């Protein structure tokens, strides 16, 4: 069997593979919300309730991707449901690329600033790298267009603004708290890069 088969539409859209991917992401999403549990509790205790939406960044990105797969498994006939799916798919790509790369970058940055390495860091590196990769791979099977991409981009920029306006950004390695301004600038820049990557991947998908 040629390696190219594992890149083919036949393999990637096989329903058994899609369900496997769905459940892997669903379990990862639940684990991600549990991981954010303490920060979410603290936010609810000390901040306005509406800000809780902007706290669990990576698991919400994973949730978007999990839901996006349902639109591939069950293509809707309703135009309204289809358009909703397109927005979710665009959010899945932009946020999965953004937070996948962000988490890996922050872990390495923390190490470079003298932070301690933990085994969980390698687990997070592997899982967040997979988030970014799978999103870019599945762009060609998603049906969204530039309008949905604009919505996804605006939402992600809004999330960044909320994070760094109200200090509800993901908890950082201790060695990076003296560099929050740099992290903020990197975060906004990475959002723009993620939107660009999603747009370029979408253009490439249309050509193939």
Q: Is the pLDDT of residue 39 over 80?
A: yes
pLDDT 10s digits, 48-97:
999 999 999 999 999 999 999 999 999 998 999 999 999 999 999 999 99
How many degrees, rounded to 5, is the angle at CA 158 between CA 62 and CA 93? 30
Q: Please give the model's pTM, rounded to 2 decimal places.
A: 0.94
Q: Of 11-15, 40-44, 133-137, 177-181, which gets the smallest average pLDDT?
A: 11-15
Mean pLDDT of the chain: 93
Please report, for the chain, the start and end positions of each structural domain, with discontinuous segments joined by +: 10-207
**DSSP output for 93-155:** HHHHHHHHHHHHHHHHHHHHTTPPP-HHHHHHHHHHHHHHHHHHHHGGG----HHHHHHHHHH
- Cβ neighbors of 180 (< 8 A, separation 6 or more) are 164, 169, 172
Please report the pLDDT score of residue 45 as a whole number.
Answer: 96
pLDDT 10s digits, 167-195:
999 999 999 999 999 999 999 999 999 99
Q: What is the mean pLDDT of residues 17-44?
A: 96
For the chain, give the longest Cα–Cα distance. 56
Number of neighbours of residue 14 by Cβ within 10 angstroms: 12
pLDDT > 70 in the chain, percent: 97
Q: Is the pLDDT of residue 6 over 80?
A: no
pLDDT > 90 in the chain, percent: 83
Sign of the Cα pseudo-torsion (74, 80, 84, 90, in order): positive
How far apart, in whole angstroms, are the C-alpha atoms of residue 19 and residue 177?
A: 40
Q: What is the mean pLDDT of residues 39-50?
A: 96
Q: Are 93 and 146 in contact (CB under 8 A)?
A: no
Q: What is the mean pLDDT of residues 3-7?
A: 72
Q: Is the pLDDT of residue 207 over 70?
A: no
How many degrees, rounded to 5, is the angle at CA 13 between CA 6 and CA 103? 75
How far apart, in whole angstroms, are the C-alpha atoms of residue 53 and residue 57?
A: 9
Q: Of 15-19, 102-106, 198-202, which gets the smallest average pLDDT?
A: 198-202
Q: Quickly state the pLDDT bin for 206 (edges 50, 70, 90).
A: low
pLDDT 10s digits, 123-147:
999 999 999 999 999 999 998 888 9
């Amino acid at each position: 069997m040629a390696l190219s088969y594992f890149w083919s539409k036949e393999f990637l859209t096989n329903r058994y593979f899609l369900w496997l991917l769905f459940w892997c992401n669903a379990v990862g999403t639940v684990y991600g919300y549990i991981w954010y549990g303490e920060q979410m509790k603290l936010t609810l205790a000390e901040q306005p309730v509406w800000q809780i939406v902007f706290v669990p960044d990576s698991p919400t990105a994973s949730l978007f991707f999990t839901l996006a797969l349902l639109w591939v498994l069950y293509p809707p006939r309703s135009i309204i449901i289809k358009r909703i799916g397109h927005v979710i798919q665009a959010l899945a790509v932009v946020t999965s690329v953004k937070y996948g790369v962000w988490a890996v970058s922050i872990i390495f940055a923390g190490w470079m600033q003298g932070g301690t390495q933990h085994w969980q860091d390698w687990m997070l590196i592997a899982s967040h790298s997979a988030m970014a990769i799978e999103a870019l791979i599945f762009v060609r099977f998603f049906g969204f267009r530039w309008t949905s991409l604009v919505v996804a981009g605006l939402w992600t920029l809004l999330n960044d603004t909320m994070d760094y306006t109200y200090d509800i950004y993901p908890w950082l390695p201790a060695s990076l708290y003296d560099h929050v301004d740099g992290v903020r600038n990197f975060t906004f820049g990475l959002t723009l890069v993620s939107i660009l990557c999603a747009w370029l991947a979408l253009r490439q998908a249309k050509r193939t």
